[in-house]
A and B are shown apart, each in its own frame.
Chain A
Amino acid sequence: MQPINEMKIEFLSKSNNESFARVVAAAFVSQLDPTMEELADVKTAVSEAVTNAIIHGYEDTIGYVRMECRLYEDSVEIIVEDKGKGIDNIELARQPLYTSKPELERSGMGFTVMETFMDSVEVKSEPGVGTLVKMCKSFKSLKGKQN
């Protein structure tokens, strides 16, 4: 299926770019005119994915986080990718409440939020190479709606 619109951006792994990234993603997705709640879901999931890239992917180093958004008639696909340290055990990282950084008061709910707020979350990671998170969500409010 061909997307009807697409965008790609790269930004530094600085924590002030977390709000930048989620606002950009929400602004782009709003072209489809989903409900406020659906838009808030996307914003929250993007915030989690980008925060993971910054805290865990790059840790105390600075690198580029790449975000891609593809819009379809009634759905969105978002990719958040870093070239950081990667995840050793993806299954463990995805478990609710698991955090590799308890000293930072992290809740360990990042992946759980992404999974709850999006329809699918795919994680590809290789230690020393980086991590790619692909999230998809179809907007029920737009199903069968003529644009």
Chain B
Amino acid sequence: MQVKFTNRGSTLVIGIIGELDHHSAEYIRDKIDAQMIKSTTKNIVFDFSKVGFMDSSGIGVIVGRYKNISKLKGKAAIVNPNAQIKKILEMAGIPKIIPLFNTVDDAVSSM
């Protein structure tokens, strides 16, 4: 499990690599929160291109970060989830509050 960060202007792109379950959720959450404190992040983009699996623990991580960024009047987006992850996101109603995009460029330019 790995998390890579890229700053694109005021948008922080969070590239998660691996599987997002209860076991990895705490590590990912801590990494993201630490990064969000130190950078001048306004918006966040979750890049799911390299996530092979996610269960409902991932919903907790996404919604938690979304709440934090919303308090600062920022926006969030999700990029390229696979079919299994998309199914979970849709089941939880996430796309209604956090839009999905095919590419990081599309997500960043929507901010």
What is A's interface to B at a CB cutoff of 8 Å? 15-16, 18-19, 22, 36-37, 40-41, 43-44, 47-48, 51, 54-55, 104-107, 109-110, 112-113, 116-117
Known: A19-B19, A107-B92, A116-B91. A48 touches B84 (CB 8 A): no
What is B's interface to A at a CB cutoff of 8 Å? 19, 21-23, 25, 29, 53, 55-57, 59-61, 63-64, 83-84, 87-88, 91-92
Q: What is the CA–CA distance of A22 and B53 in the complex, to the nearest angstrom?
A: 10
Give the residues in chain A near B53, CB-CB below 8 Å: 19, 22, 40, 43-44, 47
Select one of B21, B29, B84, B92 contacting A109, CB under 8 A: B92
* B22→A15 contact, CB < 8 A: yes
Give the residues in chain B near A40, CB-CB below 8 Å: 53, 83-84, 87
* B21→A47 contact, CB < 8 A: yes
Task: Beyond the given A18-B21, A43-B84, please list 20 additional residue pairs across the A-B interface where CB-CB is below 8 A.
Answer: A15-B21, A18-B23, A19-B19, A22-B53, A36-B83, A40-B53, A44-B55, A44-B88, A47-B53, A51-B22, A51-B55, A51-B57, A54-B22, A105-B29, A105-B64, A107-B56, A107-B60, A109-B59, A112-B56, A112-B91
Q: What is the distance, in angstroms, from A58's C-beta to the closest C-beta of chain B?
A: 13
Closest B residue, CB atoms, query A110 = B56
* A107→B19 contact, CB < 8 A: no
* A113→B22 contact, CB < 8 A: no
Q: What is the CA–CA distance of A109 and B55 in the complex, to the nearest angstrom?
A: 9
* A105→B84 contact, CB < 8 A: no
Q: What is the distance, in angstroms, from A121's C-beta to the closest C-beta of chain B?
A: 14
Q: What is the distance, in angstroms, from B82's C-beta to the closest C-beta of chain A?
A: 9
Q: What is the CA–CA distance of A15 and B83 in the complex, to the nearest angstrom?
A: 24
Give the residues in chain B near A48, CB-CB below 8 Å: 55-56
Q: What is the CA–CA distance of A40 and B19 in the complex, to the nearest angstrom?
A: 13
Known: A19-B19, A51-B21, A105-B29. A113 touches B56 (CB 8 A): yes
